[in-house]
């Protein structure tokens, strides 16, 4: 059978279950006041890191397929690498290469989008996350497309901006808006009408994921498409006003509509073209369904559905073909661990709560939404709370643990993987106290899980997909200490970090059947897959990155 694993000679594998635990957003950083991981009371994590073999894994930049080592890792590319055992060029890099080569603008989709607005004397709309965070989007991609649109004779462009404050500084919106307005002013001319038309914080409108809160997408639709909402004369005015009134960070800014003489400047109408310029898929699928969906769409009342030519930056779901049109082909991720295990007859479980459910399924499987085997794979989603994460920092870790233990004790599954979102989702709020609490809740769950691993004669590999909770304040690179703001307080950091992540092999049963290779900084997330199949008693496929262990 194709893609079937071969048994190791001399090591039959672990008798009990083999488990991968992903502590989402938990990196390794110096023990400063900024480090919510080190500052939390985590006796279980502390004990296993001291007692069991632990190496560090690179989880950002080129180690996960991003353009440079200045690029933060994220959960999407991290889980791609964990599940694939290889590094594939990822969204940001693919888009940049496509723009620089001119391939994007020569594509049939781009040509169709441009021809549509020129033929109809209509508007080209750009919608997406407005920053250079390079996790979901990059403002340079937007600028390149705007310039090209003008060069190709488009006469009217409207831009709908989703304010970041999550992958970049929490109150950095004006650092993007003001230079961008100057950029637009230089391009604007008598025959090129270009304006920002609407916007709002990324955690308030449009960018929901995993269908956790369709109301976010509905608010975005009313804002961007229908032009309904509080009106302002500029995006900068909207940001300044909301900050003064609500004292919220950028990701939580309410929706706004730019208007002139009381009328929205950029509603979406029949005959328009719309480009969603995010390259990452998870927060792009729902808004794409709203634009691309037919009359059967029932997630909310769209009120008015303009007939538009819609395209995403990439195809966000390759199995469901969402959206129908896209500008850049996504990476083709093949030969994943799940496929090999299914073909070998190994029964698998994947479990998380809604916020990271897609990461242990879709992303882990190489951006594949279906299963490789209905008989051998079980996916369990624990519904997430729809509340600000700092208000409930334990999230659903106890419920995930309850179900995971039940599945382990059933004896039905040989390989299990679980993601605990706490460190990442709570870390993004910028609340140090809440993030410490999230880590303490996770630690309690680790203790429960590892006790069952021991009881069943299993082994667990405990790691993370990227850092976040390990650096809750902006760090001064020269001093290594948190930056202090104008008001004397530390400046909160809500984005991922560039720090490595731990990889702990919790094993009380094999008695030296293998050794853990020396950590020389050579390992990344893509080395985990080979390690897991070795622990199961199989050789890793030749195309995967090397295992962290050496079987004797």
CA 291 to CA 279: how far, in whole Å? 17
Question: H-type helices in 152-199, by residue range?
Answer: 173-187
CA distance 239 to 114: 31
Spatial separation of the C-alpha atoms in residues 445 and 399, rounded to whole Å: 10
Are residues 414 and 378 in contact, defined by beta-carbon separation less than 8 angstroms?
A: no
CA distance 173 to 165: 7
Please name the residue ranges forming H helices in 102-234.
103-106, 108-120, 139-151, 173-187, 214-224
If one counts every other C-beta atom within 10 angstroms of the C-beta of residue 201, the result is 26
Angle at 430 between CA 429 and CA 436, to 5 degrees: 95
Q: Are strands 156-163 and 309-314 parallel, antiparallel or unpaired?
A: unpaired
Angstrom distance (rounded) from CA 288 to CA 277? 11
Q: What share of the chain is helix, strand, coil (3-state, %, to 5)?
A: 35, 20, 45
Catalytic residue among 9, 75, 122, 172: 75
Spatial CB neighbours of 512, under 8 Å, sequence gap ≥ 6: 552
Q: Is 75 a catalytic residue?
A: yes
Which residues are known to be catalytic?
A: 75
């Amino acid at each position: 059978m194709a893609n079937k694993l071969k048994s190791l000679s001399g090591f039959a594998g672990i008798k009990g279950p083999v488990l991968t635990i992903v502590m989402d957003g938990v990196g390794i950083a110096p023990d400063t006041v900024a480090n919510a991981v080190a500052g939390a009371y985590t006796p279980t994590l502390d004990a296993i890191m001291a007692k069991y073999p632990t190496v560090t894994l690179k989880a950002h930049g080129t180690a996960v397929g991003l353009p440079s080592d200045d690029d933060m890792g994220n959960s999407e590319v991290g889980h791609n690498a964990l599940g694939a055992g290889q590094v594939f060029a990822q969204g940001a890099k693919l888009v940049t290469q496509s723009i620089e080569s001119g391939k994007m603008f020569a594509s049939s989709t781009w040509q169709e989008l441009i021809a549509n607005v020129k033929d109809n004397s209509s508007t080209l709309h750009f919608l997406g996350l407005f920053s250079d965070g390079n996790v979901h989007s990059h403002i340079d991609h937007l600028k390149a497309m705007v310039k090209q649109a003008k060069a190709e004779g488009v006469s009217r462009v409207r831009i709908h901006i989703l304010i970041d404050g999550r992958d970049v500084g929490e109150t950095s919106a004006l650092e993007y808006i003001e230079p961008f307005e100057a950029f637009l002013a230089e391009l604007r001319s008598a025959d090129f009408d270009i304006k920002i038309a609407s916007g709002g914080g990324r955690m308030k409108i449009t960018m929901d994921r995993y269908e956790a809160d369709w109301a976010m997408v509905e608010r975005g639709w009313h804002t961007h498409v229908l032009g309904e909402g509080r009106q302002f004369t500029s995006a900068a005015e909207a940001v300044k006003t909301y900050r003064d009134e609500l004292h919220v960070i950028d990701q939580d800014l309410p929706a706004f509509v730019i208007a002139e003489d009381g009328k929205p400047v950029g509603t979406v109408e029949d005959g328009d073209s719309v480009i969603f310029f995010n390259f990452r898929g998870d927060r792009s699928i729902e808004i794409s369904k709203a634009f691309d969906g037919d009359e059967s769409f029932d997630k909310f009342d769209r009120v008015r559905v303009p007939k538009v030519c819609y395209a995403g930056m990439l195809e966000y779901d390759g199995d469901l073909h969402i959206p129908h049109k896209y500008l850049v082909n996504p990476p083709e991720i093949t030969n994943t661990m799940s496929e090999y295990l299914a073909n070998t007859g190994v029964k698998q479980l994947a479990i998380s709560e809604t916020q990271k459910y897609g990461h242990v399924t879709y992303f882990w499987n190489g951006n594949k939404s279906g299963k490789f085997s209905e008989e051998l794979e079980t996916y369990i989603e624990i519904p997430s709370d729809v509340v600000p994460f700092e208000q409930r920092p334990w999230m659903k870790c106890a419920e995930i643990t309850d179900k995971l233990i039940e599945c382990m004790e059933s004896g039905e599954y040989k390989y299990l993987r679980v993601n605990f979102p706490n460190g990442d989702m709570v870390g993004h709020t910028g609340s140090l106290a809440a993030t410490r609490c999230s880590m303490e809740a996770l630690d309690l769950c680790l203790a429960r899980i590892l006790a069952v691993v021991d009881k069943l004669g299993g082994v667990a590999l405990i790691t993370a997909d990227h850092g976040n909770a390990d650096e809750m304040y902006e760090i001064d690179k020269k001093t290594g200490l948190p930056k202090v703001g104008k008001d004397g307080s530390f400046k909160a950091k809500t984005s991922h970090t560039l720090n490595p992540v731990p990889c702990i092999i919790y094993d009380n049963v094999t008695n030296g059947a293998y050794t853990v290779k020396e950590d020389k900084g050579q390992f990344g997330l893509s080395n985990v897959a080979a390690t897991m199949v070795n622990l199961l008693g199989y050789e890793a496929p030749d195309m995967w990155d090397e295992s962290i262990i050496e079987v004797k």
